[in-house]
Structure 1
Amino acid sequence: MSKLALVTGATSGIGKAFAERFAAEGHDLIVVGRRTERLEEFAAAHPEVAVRVVTADLATSEGVDAVAALCAREPLDVLVNNAGVAHYMPLADLPADKARELVSVKVLAPTLLTHAVVGGMLERGLGTVINVAGMIAFSGPADPSVMPRRAIYTGTLAHLVAMSQTLAAELDGTGVGVHVVCPGVVATEFHSAQGLDLSAVPRMSPEDVVTGALRGIELGETVSAPGVEDYDLLRTVFSADLAAFGGQSPALASRYRTS
């Protein structure tokens, strides 16, 4: 029996590259996106596998609920939470409706789709959840000289990293894996949708992002970083996180006490 993968944001970029890779490996697919014509073009180009097209806007409650129902109902082997929106600007400049859309697509949707799929995966004793974040998740401590600023966007990706790490630990030994891939700048429509021309900037291909994510899973990495050659850099970050977490106590730290 063919494996079944559901990919959100499958109309272009990293999501389409994941769908292409899974189709090449013989997976049946549920491809989710806002542009029906692109989804249908993908399905027509892959008659060798069963491709179901689902038009849904994950910025809306209706879209999230519809796809979550699919995740709960279908025997998914793989869920890829890839959908994103190009709202990449300082918080003060980001309209409230766009902030809501960003949080819905990159925080609420992955959270609820993962919640919906995990029960069935646990019953079957197998399954993989792949969340698509980015190295910007680690950029929070950057000083004010680092531009552009993008507080909400950074926060949503940091959420995906922390949620994936914690959920992977929760599901350890169950046969269900959780992973998050953190690419840097990727050659997709993300930046052009904001009117930015990055053609002169070195960028990773979506196909390499997918290769890195899937190889990272084989290597046992919960967090994969396709553009980071020295993985010890990430291990250092994770060790420092745990050291800070473990260094707390009920006593007020001395630097906070008045003299």
Structure 2
Amino acid sequence: MSKLALVTGATSGIGKAFAERFAADGYDLVIVGRRQDRLAEFASNHPHVTVRTVAADLSTEDGINTVAAYCADEPLDMLVNNAGVSHYMPLADLPADKARELVNVKVLAPTQLMRAAVGGMQQRGTGTIINVAGMIAFSGPADTSVMPRRAVYAGTLAHLVAMTQTLSAELEGTGVKAHVVCPGVVATEFHSSQGLDMSAVPRMSPQDLVTGALRGLELGEVVSAPGVEDYQLLSSVFAADLAAFGGQSPELATRYRAN
């Protein structure tokens, strides 16, 4: 019996690369995206596996519910939450509808799809959830000289990192794995869709990004960063997080007391 993977945002870029890798490995697929023509093209180009297409907009309640039903009803071996939107702008400039779309696609949709899939995976004693976040999740402390500010976008990616780490701990001993991959700049349509010309910027290929995520899983990493050579950098971040968490007290810290 073939394994089954569901991939969101599968019509281009990272999502398409995940779907292609799984198809090459013999997985049957449920591929999700907004563009039915691209979904159909992918299916016709991969006749050696069963490909079901789901045209859904994960910024909407109906779209989320449609895909969540697949996650709940199908015996998924792999769920990849990749869908994204690229609303890069400071909070004060971000229109309310775009803020809602971004949070729905990168926070609400992954949460609901994971919630729908994880119970069945636990019952079967196997399954993997991969969330696609980004290195921008770690950019919060950067000052204004480093990059354009994009508070909501960065916040959604940081949410995915923390949620995946916590979910991984919840799933310990169940046979189910949770993993989050943090790309840097990848050669996809993601930036060109905003009218940004990234042709002069060194970029990782989507295929290498997928290779890194899957190898990270094999290595037992909960958070993979395919573009970071020294993984100790991330280990230090996580150790500092835990040190701060463990260093709290019910007593008011001295620096906050009146002189």
Q: TM-score, normalised by structure 2?
A: 1.00
Flag structure 1 segments of 5+ consecutive residues without an equivalent: none
Query: What are the within-5 Å matches in structure 2 for residues 1-259 of structure 1?
Result: 1-259=1-259
**Quick check: 142-151 or 50-59, which moved more?**
142-151
Alignment partners' CA distance in 2, 1:91 and 1:192: 21
How far does the alpha carbon of each residue in 1:179-235 deviate from its partner, in whole angstroms, 9 at most, with x for none? 000010000001000000000000000001000000000000000000000000000
Alignment partners' CA distance in 1, 2:143 and 2:89: 16
Which residue identity lines up with residue 187 of structure 2 in the other structure? A
Alignment partners' CA distance in 2, 1:231 and 1:173: 25
Which residue identity lines up with residue 111 of structure 1 in the other structure? T
Alignment partners' CA distance in 1, 2:147 and 2:30: 37
Flag structure 2 segments of 5+ consecutive residues without an equivalent: none
Which residue identity lines up with residue 57 of structure 1 in the other structure? D
SS in 1 for 2:186: coil
Q: TM-score, normalised by structure 1?
A: 1.00
Alignment partners' CA distance in 1, 2:189 and 2:88: 13
How far does the alpha carbon of each residue in 1:140-160 deviate from its partner, in whole angstroms, 9 at most, with x for none? 011122221100000000000
How far does the alpha carbon of each residue in 1:54-106 deviate from its partner, in whole angstroms, 9 at most, with x for none? 00000000000010011000000000000001111111111110000000000
Which residue identity lines up with residue 12 of structure 2 in the other structure? S
Alignment partners' CA distance in 2, 1:205 and 1:147: 22
Aligned residues: CA RMSD: 0.4
Alignment partners' CA distance in 1, 2:192 and 2:94: 18
Alignment partners' CA distance in 2, 1:86 and 1:162: 20
SS in 2 for 1:118: helix
SS in 2 for 1:207: helix
Alignment partners' CA distance in 1, 2:180 and 2:147: 25
Which residue identity lines up with residue 165 of structure 1 in the other structure? Q
Identity of aligned residues (%): 79
Equivalent pairs, count = 259
The runs of at least 4 consecutive aligned structure 1 residues that moved more than 2 Å come to none
